[in-house]
Structure 1
Amino acid sequence: MTVAGTSTPAAPADVTGAVVDLDVTGMTCASCASRIERKLNKLPGVVASVNLATERAHVVASVGTTIADLVATVEQTGYGASVVEPDPDPDAAEGRADAAERRLRLRVLVAAVLGLPVVVVSMVPALQVPGWQWVGLVLAAVVVLGAGWPFHRSALVNARHGAATMDTLISIGTLAALGWSAYALTGPAGALGYTHTFALRLERHTGMAEPYLEAAAAIPLFLLVGRWLEARARRRSGAALRALLALGAREARVLRDGREVTVPAASLVVGDRVVVAPGATFPVDGTVLEGHSAVDASSVTGESVPVEVGPSDAVVGGCVNTSGRLVVEATAVGADTQLARLAAMVTEAQSGKAAVQRLADRVSGIFVPVVLVLALVTLGVWLLVGAGASFAVTAAVAVLIIACPCALGLATPTALLVGTGRGAQLGIVIKGPEVLEATRDVDVVLLDKTGTVTEGRMTVVSVVPAAGVDEGELVRYAGAAEAGSSHPVAQAVAAHARDAGPLPDVTALREPAGQGVVAEVVGVGTVVVGRADLLSAEGLTVDAGLAAAFTTEQEQGRTVVLVGWSGQARGLVAVADTVRPSSAEAVRRLVALGLRPVLLTGDTARTAATVANEVGIDEVVADVRPEGKVDAVRRLQAEGRRVAMVGDGVNDAAALAQADLGIAMGTGTDAAIEAADLTLVRGDLLQAADAVRLARATLRTIRGNLFWAFAYNVAALPLAALGFANPVLAGAAMAFSSLFVVGNSLRLRRFAPLAS
């Protein structure tokens, strides 16, 4: 569960064994997130993961811990914290994000209007009129101390707690550039006729001190622009989840005392009868009681074709009723609806970290202190070799600015945010970053048959009347007899018969255990439907031709019932769990991804082989109980295989949990969904291949982000320390590295499923 509250709970709430999500404010870089994570993890029995991109802390408490303890720990670290509301308002969250972005944009405008003239004049000697440097010093001071104040404020807060972050580097660097420029203007550089020449590479000298006003003005400007663009991109990366949360209806029309009453959707309870008008969104999961319509489920399941529904059909909250008026009985409301559970799973996935990111976080945690030492070493060495104070100070500032580890902190969260959000739009729920790593090495996929490769329900596939018997008459009498039975085979026969027209009345019904039914059907008399021994016991004979047809149908893996009246068998009806139309194509796509498909089922070998041949699977494991499915997974793992398991039932849950990658059909049981790592909301096996493709694409993006983030710092630091990078260039390069990581992650928004 998620514990709700505020940043100042009225009473300490013990959250032992609970999952708590905290909104954390004030984080600016990976080292901020790393510090908060370390502090939270020092609490007894607490396991915390702090995500810079989502600005949240995901906490699991196993020993007596209170919400106040968690919030206080974050605040003592120098940041703000509040417990995430259990039912967040997407509009309110969007409004807060807009306000924060507007404030950041205002700082960018101030820095641009005041700082750009300083940069241009400093770099173009022809524009340097007498006294330009003094005007530039004033404008640069406003940019550094005014527009750039958040950097200094954060650095001061962290300094009070004995810590250093990216903002510490920026604050020291910009203040050093401004302070050095002010000092330089007290010497010859302050003369009214002084001119200054800009160079990307620093020039060594031992003469007078020179101002670096362009660095003082440009560095805050570049960093603020980068942070603003980064904030916009991060908002775009979370747009899929916000859209998912916004799908839920805010109000509902409910039948109360025979009247339609509008109530808040949050007040609905299971059993309420909800009226859903054409064009309206379903506020609950439920069962249709009245009406017929087509339901657009594309926003929840990714299915683009509207689905026809009528009485007894299930509907899901967040879908749209496209045409007729429906009355729906609520079976799940609020946090229990499929939409809410989907959003919760996506949110939880976005709070996790891949193993490679945990390594990056450890590096970021020690990176800032190392950079501060390196900057001091750079300053000292250049002074010792006689390069000049101006050169030494500027090289040290370049080291401080170019070394920001922000890109490392964004590498995983932004890719995970975009990848899982895109998956949610397509009806694919990825539970966490460890799932991405599992998809990379999977080489065998076990496919449960019933409900995964097949539809999971019996349907009539063949009707064989005896010589001289009308097929329609055979179906009608068989359906009438079977209509009173609850057996799946009987229900399949009855449903098939109803599709052909009204059924005759039945005046009496017997069901000999496990054999079939004997019914008194109006207009024909006693009708027997079932096994051959039941017909024999009732005195009915089966001719050789019908017996041969019976054997043929059984050899094809079908369940066959004989139908007879008036002393002899009049025909047979064969039923089977039909293969999903998309299963064969899904198997081909899984093979194309390098996976070896294996059909796994508790059915007979004959039935399993029939299905396997139809969908193109060469390997079958049949006649297995639930524990046998687990053994099949373990056996393959013992051979060194990385195993994926796709299933939908309670009997698949243990195997899904045992597999290296568990994939559950969203149309299956809660037990299967909870045990799996990936959930296919639409319940279509075709999505399995798309899920693996998306997971692998997201992992590739994370690894690419981390490579470039590491490579940037490894390459840039020596260049800055050796004097090959002006601080202005360093600031631009640092901002670009973060934008590159975010932009690379946003490419996942274009991920498209393969055409059906």
Structure 2
Amino acid sequence: MNAPILTQDPQPKTAAQAKTGASTLWQAALGKAFTKLDPRQLQRAPVMLVVELTAIVTTVLCFMPNPAVSTGLAVQIALWLWFTLLFANFAEALAEGRGKARADSLKAGSQGLKARRQTQPGVYESVAASELRRGDIVRVEAGEQIPGDGEVIEGIAAVNEAAITGESAPVIRESGGDRSAVTGNTNLVSDWLLVKITANPGESTLDRMIALVEGARRQKTPNEIALDMLLIGLTLVFLVVVATLQPFARYAGGDLPLVYLVALLVTLIPTTIGGLLSAIGIAGMDRLVRLNVIAKSGRAVEAAGDVHVLLLDKTGTITFGNRRCSALIAAPGIAEQDLTEAALLSSLGDDTAEGKSIVEYIRNLGPVQAPERSAVKVIAFSAETRLSGADHGSQRYRKGAVDAVLDYLKMNRSDMPAALARTVDKIAQSGGTPLLVASDARLLGAIHLKDVVKPGIRERFAELRAMGIRTVMVTGDNPLTAAAIAAEAGVDDVIAEATPEKKLQRIRSEQAEGKMVAMCGDGANDAPALAQADVGLAMNDGTQAAREAANLVDLDSDPTKLLDVVQVGKELLVTRGALTTFSVANDVAKYFAILPALFIGVYPQLGVLNLMQLHSPQSAILSAIVFNALIIVALIPLALRGVRVQATDAASLLRRNLLIYGLGGLLAPFVGIKLIDMLLVAVGLV
């Protein structure tokens, strides 16, 4: 295979470019805020549809003179109602627009793409990539783009996936095994591949990514639907409340202008969360896309936020996957310097990850008195002999598996020095892999290879534990090795000698107890468990079976991403809950803040409850409308960024959110409306 061609990383944006991009994004969102005034688009947000209807009614009332309400006040109320609607639309448009630039670049990469489709073995025809269907076979050669998602059925090549993942380093794809899946619009940088297409137009990874970042086909999740029903219920309740206020006023000999009642309805219904609900959902999906994770449904993201148990593969997730050198142990009577020199020379020809780790480990120890490499004949590692080595003068250095080195020396295990034999057994019992180093007919010592736990992973598991999430390590290792690594990593439980049946059984048993389970995998043997789990994260470079069974696909093929997905899911749920709490508390506060001032002329006894001492009923209703619009603007950054989830249990998190967003929602209207009232009076608008 030819050497992969590395591309340069894209240059970072300058401050001026970033500022220009942000300005363009805001301008586009502002324009889209007006187009979203179409009632057909607002059908998805019932609360905001009510706001639009009240804005229309108020606008009409501006042209119907009423002695009790000045035209200027009616116009101000109508304008602020329209502003409320526009601000909510702007939040949604801004959330959608954050990914539009990326979507446009992805679309541009797929336009005009051609494919070489096989009509019969060895015979191909040129067709547009958009004409490919599931089951078609295409041939892709070096320098060409892969025309669609598929599975390699023949060949081995390096693929640059920067167009999808942003990572410019090519990856190897080959037929068979767990690294056979390829993604459309990625570039082949060497050799050739025969690819079987696995997605019809509109179903590919690229199509799903574009849909996600644009928010174009985002379906409402069950939680959003339930929240919409709650908001509709609250809107109906306040509609009844407002409708009954006029009869009470007339019974007392007074009258409430229709403009006031319409405006009051808007201030009391949950417009804050109604206006930001869609933006919260789109922003959550956008954060997921920024992680290079594609969700097949919003339900999967929400489920990630409710996960109780995480099943994590040991290899590549908890550990680096490649065993690394952790120690050199000299045999009795052998100087450490002699062992170090022999281990270094015998590893020069070992291009495996383990061999490279030995060289790196020795070089980190400090300068080594070793002969020049030009004077050494390197013996490359052979999978057949399981040995690597070097010849220097009359010395023959060899390094490899215990049995392989003993066979090379024509020795039995019983011939090993007792202390060295104990060292080898101790390494094996700890879950490591022992290698022997020999020079001519002498055993110089052992090398301890171990599957190294990733730095910081223990702390991440501690954070998950604080959130009430249990971690379960899944490994094919024997129970002794698995227990040693589990203890070092700090996981809560372990499944050793794991089989597909064991994984499936564990997931089902957890779900039977009412728990939400997440797991990640990349092989065909992971497909049943991925399909059974509430959240299944498949690796993009894994098998097609795994990708189809999962409801999330990680384009970077990084198993640790599952921890980030859980974090995004929790942020989405907590943000939605926090802003809902704030909005409902706002409505309750506005109810008690406005009504006393509004009815003080009809029921003078309510003056006792007019704690805010608003200037007049006119200033009270206008101040509430202005506050109602501006609070949406103030909360847009929080809706897009999301509420940060701290490592704490659910009860503590609930108390924190109730204190911040519940109490804050109660107090904010009293402070905000009073300040706006004072400002309106000062500038003479009421």
TM-score exceeds 0.5? yes
Equivalent residue, structure 1, for 2:225: 358
Confirm or deny: 8 A CA contact 1:479 1:497 kept in the other structure.
no
- The CA distance in 2 between the partners of 1:356 and 1:650, in whole Å, is 32
Equivalent residue, structure 1, for 2:81: 223
- How do 1:425-574 and structure 2 match up within 5 A? 425-426=290-291, 433-435=298-300, 437-438=302-303, 442-461=307-326, 467=334, 491-492=352-353, 511=384, 517=386, 530=401, 532=403, 535=406, 539-542=410-413, 543-545=415-417, 546-562=420-436
Equivalent residue, structure 1, for 2:610: none
1:174 is aligned, of 33, 53, 59, to 59
- The CA distance in 2 between the partners of 1:239 and 1:385, in whole Å, is 52
TM normalised by structure 2 equals 0.60
Amino acid at match of 1:226: T
Deviates more, 1:397-406 or 1:720-729: 720-729
Cα deviations across residues 213-263 of structure 1 (Å, max 9, x unaligned)?
A: 1333112211233333334333333343234435649569x9xxxxxxxxx
Amino acid at match of 1:212: S
Equivalent residue, structure 1, for 2:652: none
Equivalent residue, structure 1, for 2:454: 580
1:702 CA drift (Å): 0.8
Equivalent residue, structure 1, for 2:496: 622
- How do 1:63-212 and structure 2 match up within 5 A? 98=27, 101-102=30-31, 165-179=50-64, 181=65, 184=66, 209-212=67-70
- How do 1:221-300 and structure 2 match up within 5 A? 221-245=79-103, 248=106, 250=108, 271-274=140-143
1:173 CA drift (Å): 3.4
C-alpha spacing 1:338/1:100, structure 2 compared with 1 (3 Å): closer
- The CA distance in 2 between the partners of 1:629 and 1:621, in whole Å, is 8
- How do 1:643-662 and structure 2 match up within 5 A? 643-647=517-521, 649-662=523-536
Confirm or deny: 8 A CA contact 2:479 2:496 kept in the other structure.
yes
- The CA distance in 2 between the partners of 1:451 and 1:531, in whole Å, is 26
**2:602 is the counterpart of 1:744:** no
Q: Secondary structure at the match of 2:75?
A: helix
1:312 CA drift (Å): 6.0
C-alpha spacing 1:722/1:526, structure 2 compared with 1 (3 Å): closer
1:626 CA drift (Å): 2.0
Deviates more, 1:580-589 or 1:621-630: 580-589
**Residues paired across the two proteins, number:** 546
- The CA distance in 1 between the partners of 2:274 and 2:514, in whole Å, is 34
Cα deviations across residues 21-45 of structure 1 (Å, max 9, x unaligned)?
A: xxxxxxxxxxxxxxxxxxxxxxxxx
Confirm or deny: 8 A CA contact 1:401 1:731 kept in the other structure.
no
- The CA distance in 2 between the partners of 1:368 and 1:311, in whole Å, is 54
- The CA distance in 2 between the partners of 1:417 and 1:565, in whole Å, is 64
**2:471 is the counterpart of 1:602:** no
- The CA distance in 2 between the partners of 1:407 and 1:319, in whole Å, is 41
Cα deviations across residues 430-468 of structure 1 (Å, max 9, x unaligned)?
A: 665545654555444333211210122344555667658
Equivalent residue, structure 2, for 1:53: none
C-alpha spacing 1:475/1:521, structure 2 compared with 1 (3 Å): closer
Equivalent residue, structure 1, for 2:135: none
C-alpha spacing 1:754/1:631, structure 2 compared with 1 (3 Å): same
C-alpha spacing 1:312/1:712, structure 2 compared with 1 (3 Å): closer
C-alpha spacing 1:411/1:211, structure 2 compared with 1 (3 Å): closer
Equivalent residue, structure 1, for 2:278: 413
1:640 CA drift (Å): 5.3
Equivalent residue, structure 1, for 2:289: 424
C-alpha spacing 1:349/1:420, structure 2 compared with 1 (3 Å): farther
C-alpha spacing 1:244/1:532, structure 2 compared with 1 (3 Å): same
Cα deviations across residues 369-388 of structure 1 (Å, max 9, x unaligned)?
A: 77777666544554455425
Confirm or deny: 8 A CA contact 2:324 2:358 kept in the other structure.
no
Can you give the 5+ residue segments of structure 2 that lack an aligned partner in the other structure? Answer: 1-19, 44-48, 114-127, 133-137, 174-178, 364-372, 600-615, 648-686
Amino acid at match of 1:387: G
Cα deviations across residues 696-746 of structure 1 (Å, max 9, x unaligned)?
A: 233222113223444455665796699449577546635644653564352
Deviates more, 1:378-387 or 1:715-724: 715-724
- The CA distance in 2 between the partners of 1:508 and 1:730, in whole Å, is 83
- The CA distance in 2 between the partners of 1:615 and 1:349, in whole Å, is 41
Equivalent residue, structure 1, for 2:603: none
Amino acid at match of 2:90: R
- The CA distance in 1 between the partners of 2:358 and 2:322, in whole Å, is 16
Confirm or deny: 8 A CA contact 2:390 2:397 kept in the other structure.
yes
Q: Secondary structure at the match of 2:98?
A: helix
Can you give the 5+ residue segments of structure 1 that lack an aligned partner in the other structure? Answer: 1-90, 108-149, 159-163, 185-208, 255-263, 277-282, 302-306, 484-490
C-alpha spacing 1:549/1:242, structure 2 compared with 1 (3 Å): same
C-alpha spacing 1:250/1:244, structure 2 compared with 1 (3 Å): closer
Equivalent residue, structure 2, for 1:633: 507
Q: Secondary structure at the match of 2:498?
A: coil
- The CA distance in 1 between the partners of 2:288 and 2:588, in whole Å, is 34
Confirm or deny: 8 A CA contact 2:294 2:553 kept in the other structure.
yes
1:676 CA drift (Å): 5.1
Cα deviations across residues 564-604 of structure 1 (Å, max 9, x unaligned)?
A: 79777676555443322332332233233333333222211
Q: Secondary structure at the match of 1:452?
A: coil
Confirm or deny: 8 A CA contact 2:238 2:268 kept in the other structure.
yes
TM normalised by structure 1 equals 0.55
Cα deviations across residues 637-687 of structure 1 (Å, max 9, x unaligned)?
A: 445555444555544444344344445667766655665566666666775
- How do 1:285-434 and structure 2 match up within 5 A? 309=169, 342-344=209-211, 351-363=218-230, 377-379=244-246, 382-383=249-250, 385-388=252-255, 391=256, 393-399=258-264, 401-402=266-267, 406-426=271-291, 433-434=298-299
Confirm or deny: 8 A CA contact 1:273 1:328 kept in the other structure.
yes
Matched-pair identity in %: 25
Confirm or deny: 8 A CA contact 1:663 1:676 kept in the other structure.
yes
Amino acid at match of 1:421: D
Cα deviations across residues 413-432 of structure 1 (Å, max 9, x unaligned)?
A: 22122233234335566665
C-alpha spacing 1:432/1:213, structure 2 compared with 1 (3 Å): same
C-alpha spacing 1:330/1:454, structure 2 compared with 1 (3 Å): farther
C-alpha spacing 1:728/1:354, structure 2 compared with 1 (3 Å): farther
Amino acid at match of 2:320: E
Equivalent residue, structure 2, for 1:206: none
Cα deviations across residues 74-125 of structure 1 (Å, max 9, x unaligned)?
A: xxxxxxxxxxxxxxxxx99x989947835978x9xxxxxxxxxxxxxxxxxx
Amino acid at match of 2:58: G
Amino acid at match of 2:403: A
